[in-house]
Amino acid sequence: MSKVLLAAFPLSLRLGLVIILSLLVCFQALNTGSVVIPFSALLGVTPLDDMQSTVLWQLRFPRLLLALLAGAGLALCGALLQNASRNPLADPYLFGIVSGAALGATISTIVLPEWQLLTPLFAFVGALLAVFLVLVIGASSRWQRLESLLLCGVAVSFMLSAITTTLLYLSEPFAANRVMFWLMGSLSQASLTHVALISPLVFITLLLGLLYRRQLDALVLNDESARSLGVHVQPLRLVILLLCAAVSAAIVACCGGIAFVGLMIPHLVRSLFGLSSVALLLGSVWLGAVFLASVDTLSRSLLPDQELPIGVVTSAIGSLFFLSMLFKYRRG
């Protein structure tokens, strides 16, 4: 039904609607908060005072950029992994990335408090360590299918979560609360440094995905058909896994755990724009960015003088989305 409705609109109109929606989301994100910044000031019609200028350029603008990049990156990784594994439930966080990042953040906050300012770096190293463990276990067991690596990731995730939980249990409550708030996802510490860390990884991954679009389309069929078309299946899957691991690790290190974006957005894009890799990748980048920026604005405005962790909001929306999909398939 959605494809029929989209086909009724010309391409130029659809692109115009995409641009308008994106601008509205960005303007609303920059305008939401205790310090009101009028739309006329955002458009450059009226000048900003010193307070508005500080809030806009040092707080809200880096936060908006980080939300857009994190949403685009997570959705892009989800789309790539789901296509490469032919598994609709594949998600970048299933490789133990969040658990590894949590362990790194816990170590920097509790075990080495003098290194607390380097929490994102410890989280990034921990996430990469989790992926390394998954690959080592998978290689030692001669598991070559990505689905098997997903099971490896679940096992590593539980193991690292157990270590993290033990450290939190033995730590002081205040330090444990800081780690728990970070684990639930937050963009409150956003900076242009975080943007500079994530943006090259997201753009390189998107570019490579578009360059290898035909190989990705072939992987959707089956391994035998892909090999007959000249696709090197296992090396391509390994490259996809490593790229997605690097992007996801960087996002988790800067933003904490933000669930369901990489799992939910590709499903929405397929229902709206079709199954081709180009439409899936570009649509996931756009919709993931708009979705996470909207959710971040919502998390800042739901409660007065208080901010909800963004991962809590995405989890609530994602669970409702998959429940609706379940009821839809049952009726169908």
pLDDT tens readout for residues 209-220: 999 999 998 888
Position 40: which residue type? S
Q: Does 198 score more than 90 pLDDT?
A: yes
Confidence of residue 183 (pLDDT cuts 50, 70, 90): confident
Tens digits of residue pLDDT in 80-116: 988 888 888 888 777 788 888 888 888 888 877 776 6
Q: Does 142 score more than 60 pLDDT?
A: no
Tens digits of residue pLDDT in 235-275: 888 888 888 888 988 898 888 889 899 999 999 898 888 88
Q: Which residue has the tokens 């959705």?
A: 75
Tens digits of residue pLDDT in 30-41: 988 888 888 888
Conformational region of residue 230, where left means phi above 0, alpha means psi within -120 to 50, and beta covers everything else: left
> How far is 85 from 83, CA to CA, in rounded Å?
6
Confidence of residue 71 (pLDDT cuts 50, 70, 90): very high
Conformational region of residue 42, where left means phi above 0, alpha means psi within -120 to 50, and beta covers everything else: alpha
**Do residues 280 and 266 lie in contact, with contact meaning Cβ atoms separated by under 8 Å?**
yes
Long-range CB contacts (< 8 A, 24+ apart) of 267-272? 267/88, 267/321, 267/325, 269/75, 269/79, 271/2, 271/3, 272/2, 272/3, 272/6
Residue of 264, 268, 266 lying closest to 2 (CA atoms): 268
> How far is 131 from 15, CA to CA, in rounded Å?
38
- The confidence score (pLDDT) of residue 210 equals 95
The pTM of this model reads: 0.89
- The confidence score (pLDDT) of residue 90 equals 81
Supply the mean pLDDT for the chain: 85
Task: For residue 180, count CB atoms less than 10 angstroms from its CB and return exposed for 0-12, middle for 13-18, buried for 19 or more.
Answer: middle
The secondary structure of 146-204 as a DSSP string is HHHHHHHHHHHHHHHHHHHHHHHHHS-HHHHHHHHHHHT---TT--HHHHHHHHHHHHH
**Do residues 167 and 110 lie in contact, with contact meaning Cβ atoms separated by under 8 Å?**
yes
At what angle are helices 61-85 and 277-301 packed, to 10 degrees?
140
Strand partners, 306: 303
Q: Which CATH superfamily is domain 2-331 in?
A: ABC transporter involved in vitamin B12 uptake, BtuC (1.10.3470.10)
Structure tokens at 273: 């724009």
